[in-house]
Structure 1
């Protein structure tokens, strides 16, 4: 099975930029790159911050664009989104209780998209109703299960970022704990950083976003930090026993060298590219 993860696409009014970059153009570049190399993907997940300001026109353009893609596309909601506006444009995203949460059948196992949005907050929220729904789904599903959400559930050790992480991370952990053995991986976005770790033993990861990027300033006390790093998305390769996740820096425009074959006998000190 092959899955794609794009995150933090931050669509804006055409012509507007973020950190000097055009998020609409970069979203198109990400799609073009992914479709050229991975048109055989079984599904594409976009893990939140679909719009930079939660505007209906951004969602309308997104809806039209993903309708033309050759694989199913599944959306998560992020802190820059507006739930009411998103559901006006994508009414099918309304799950139980009006949350943007769904169970999705995959060739191997099941994906669950989670709603970590809260009003007038950049931090993540996961209320008792959302947690109860997740617990019920996990109790009835066979594994493996793949969780997709926007906010990071574990602190980064960077003070300003930790103020806007998933504040209800322990409630999420308690919801998944009884069925944690079923959960193969958790995918998130939000931080604009390549991340990996574990939540109570459950592995998680995040790629950079498709437009502007963060920087891990561990000395920061108030301000979030950004840097002109490459735009990226994730390619997820799965078999019954294993999971491999690549962060693909589609924004890179430099040379790609052919350095050598993997054959041991070909590794020659005089001819190797160094």
Structure 2
């Protein structure tokens, strides 16, 4: 099974930039790069901050672009989004309670997109109603299940980032613990830094995001840190006995050199380029 994971695309009014980068152009570049190499992916999942200001026009343009793609796309919302406005353009992603939550079939189990949005805050929330929805979905099948959400459920150790993490992580954790044997992986975004680890024994990961990049600045206690590191997305490769997640820095090709054979017989200390 192959999946594409984008996050924090932060679409803006055309012409507006963030940190000197054009989110709309970078989203197009990410799509062209990912689908050019991975047209066989089963799905593209975008884990939130779809719009930078929650503007309806951004969601309309996103819908128009996604309608041209040849693979299914699944969406979560993040702190920069607006749930009501999003659902006015993407009503199919609402659950029975009006949250942006849905299940989708995969060749290896089921994907679950979660809603961690809360109004007028950058921190994440996961209320009892949302947790009950997740608990019910996880009880419906043996899995494996693949969870997608925007906010990080685990602390990063970077104080400004942790001040806006998922504040109801304990509630999510109680559901995860009950069904840990069915859960294969948790994917998220929000932090704009590449992360990996585990949550109650379940592996998790996040790529940097398709536009502006953050940095794990452990010395800063109050403000988030922006960097000039490359934009990125993830490629997920999963089989019965393994999962591999690549973070692909899709605008780094000019810095690449194809050299260095993996074949031991080709290694020659005098002639190899190092």
- 1:123 is aligned to 123
Deviations 1:69-91 (A, max 9, x none): 01000000100000000001111
Tell me, in whole angstroms, the C-alpha distance in 1 between the residues paired with 2:30 and 2:74: 16
Q: Secondary structure at the match of 2:161?
A: helix
CA contact (8 A) 1:138 1:176 kept: no
Q: Supply the RMSD in Å over aligned alpha carbons.
A: 0.8
SS at match of 1:97: coil
User: What are the residue-to-residue correspondences of 1:21-100 with 2, within 5 Å?
Assistant: 21-100=21-100
Residue equivalent to 2:133: 133
- TM-score, normalised on structure 1? 0.98
After superposition, the C-alpha distances for 1:226-254 in whole angstroms (9 at most, x for unaligned) are 10110000000111111111000002142
Name 1:213's counterpart in structure 2. Answer: 213
3-state SS of paired residue (2:254): coil
**Take 1:272 and 1:190, find their aligned partners in 2: how far apart are those partners?**
42
CA drift at 1:151: 0.4
Query: Aligned ranges for residues 1-274 of structure 1 at < 5 Å?
Result: 1-274=1-274
Task: Give me the whole-angstrom Cα distance separating, in 1, the residues matched to 2:96 and 2:186.
Answer: 21
8 Å Cα contact 2:187-2:205 kept in structure 1: yes
**Which segments of 5 or more consecutive residues in structure 1 lack a partner in the other structure?**
none
Runs of 4+ residues deviating >4 angstroms = none
TM-score under structure 2 length normalisation = 0.98
CA distance in 2, matches of 1:271, 1:207: 37
1:255 and 1:21 mapped to 2: Cα distance? 19
Report the secondary structure of 1:140's partner residue.
Answer: coil
Specify every segment of 5 or more residues in structure 2 that has no aligned partner in the other structure, as ranges.
none
